[in-house]
Amino acid sequence: MSAMANPFPQTSAAWSLPDRGKVAMAGLIIAESAIFTIFVVAYLFYVGKSLTGPTPREVLETPIFYSICLLSSSLTIHFAAKSLARDRVGAFLGLWALTIVLGGTFMYGTAQEWHRLIYEHGLTISTNLFGTTYYSLVGLHAFHVTAGLLMLLIVAIFALVGRVGVRQSRRVEVLSMYWHFVDVVWVVVFTVVYVLGR
């Protein structure tokens, strides 16, 4: 059978399949969720089991403000992506920048909290089971926020030099899926650490 001839019948029926970027990001989110689940399970398993050292009740302060920042950034990125899809690049850039600022504020809050925990309460990852599980879980999330912020910054830089327009809106949407995932994980972490775990 010659490689040139097409042996198959032609069809004019419409054939549409899901978007590659979204499916791949969904797959990544599933895998990452599994990783986070294991850290959450470890956290919950060890609640109340530390043999020594500060307990959550003694040292944790619920980060309401910073959580609001992070969760609002989901809204801003959602509207940013929508704006880009409608080719309103100015609005997109503003909302995108706001997303980065909100995410950055959250990271600042985490840094502040950790500074307080380490220097005022002597809680480190090696202090006790609470320290190990707390820093691992919150740290893993913070790492994912950082990675997300880096990607958002890269897109911002490209946008500032005029390279981001409506034709990139699909990719921006895929990236915003990741950002939403990071926020959903924070809802879970927040509930487990600051609500259930105390």
Partner 1 sequence: MSSNAITIPGVQIDEKPWVDTLHEWVTTVDHKRLGVLYILYALLFLVVAGGEALIIRIQLMFPHNQFVSPQVFNRLFTMHGTTMVFFMGMPILFGFANYLVPLMIGARDMAFPRLNAFSFWLSALGGFLLYFSLVGANGLYGAGNAPNVGWWAYAPLTARAFSPGHSTDYWTLALLVSGFGSIGTAINIITTILCMRCPGMKLNRMPLLAWLNLVMAGMVLLAVSPLTAAQMMLLIDRYLGGHFFDTQAGGSAVLWMHFFWIFGHPEVYILIIPCFAFMSEIIPVFSRKPIFGYPVMVAATVSIGFVSMSVWAHHMFTVGMNSYANSFFTITTMAVGVPTGIKIFNWLGTMWGGRIQFKTPMLFSIAFLFQFLIAGLTGVMLASAAFASQLSLSYFVVAHFHYTLVGGVIVAVFAAIYYWYPKITGSMLNETLGKWHFWLFLIGFHLTFDLMHIPGLLGMPRRIYTYEPGRGWDTLNLLISIGAFIQAIAILLFVANLLISYFKGAKAGNDPWDAWTLEWSTSSPPPTYNFASIPVVASRRPLWDLKHPEDPDSQYE
Amino acid at 24: A
Instruction: Compare residues 4 and 161 and give the one whose CB is closer to partner 1.
Output: 4
The answer to whether 35 contacts partner 1 (rule: CB under 8 A) is: yes
Question: Taking a C-beta distance cutoff of 8 angstroms, is the pair 66, 109 a contact?
Answer: yes
Instruction: Compare residues 105 and 124 and give the one whose CB is closer to partner 1.
Output: 124
Amino acid at 192: V
Give strand ranges (E) for the chain: none
Choose which of 44, 47, 50, 75 interacts with partner 1 (CB under 8 A): 50
The answer to whether 30 contacts partner 1 (rule: CB under 8 A) is: yes
Q: For the purposes of burial, counting CB atoms within 10 Å of the CB of 186, is it exposed (0-12), middle (13-18) or buried (19 or more)?
A: buried
Q: For the purposes of burial, counting CB atoms within 10 Å of the CB of 8, is it exposed (0-12), middle (13-18) or buried (19 or more)?
A: exposed
Q: How many residues bind partner 1 (CB under 8 A)?
A: 44
Choose which of 68, 101, 125, 160 interacts with partner 1 (CB under 8 A): 125
The answer to whether 46 contacts partner 1 (rule: CB under 8 A) is: yes
Give the number of other Cβ atoms within 10 Å of residue 37's Cβ: 12
Tokens of 17: 């399949």
CB of 120: closest distance to partner 1 in angstroms?
20
Which chain residues interact with partner 1 by CB under 8 A?
Answer: 1, 3-11, 13, 15, 17-20, 23-24, 27-28, 30-32, 34-39, 42, 45-46, 49-51, 124-126, 128-129, 132-133, 136, 140
